[in-house]
Amino acid sequence: MRPLVEAFEASTERREDFAARHDITVSTLDYWRRRCREEGEDAFIEVRPDIHERGSAVDLEFANGARLSYSGPLDPALLLMLVDRAR
């Protein structure tokens, strides 16, 4: 989400217009803006799945204790949806 927050910060769009254009809610945009400010540069790590590898397994543990385990073909859109739902 950091690239999206950075894009918003560099834009002159209203929050409502930017959020609608990126198919997210204003509250989601505000949440991530706040989180990026509070946690700084080292707060996030980039996850790049190898989309060519089939049958991969992903195990993630979030700071809030939530766990996400997935085994199967990795589709970046599916992985993003799973991470979003696990928060």
Instruction: Provide the residue-wise pLDDT of the chain in tens; the chain has 87 residues.
Output: 788 898 999 999 999 999 999 999 999 999 989 888 877 655 556 666 655 555 567 777 777 777 777 777 767 777 777 777 766
Q: Are 36 and 68 in a shared domain?
A: no
Q: Are 39 and 60 in a shared domain?
A: no
In a domain, 51, yes or no: no
In a domain, 48, yes or no: no
d(CA 8, CA 62): 25
Residue 8: the pLDDT is: 93
In a domain, 37, yes or no: yes
Full residue range of the structural domain in which residue 17 is found: 2-43
Structural domains of the chain, count: 2
Q: Are 35 and 66 in a shared domain?
A: no
Quick check: pTM over 0.75? no
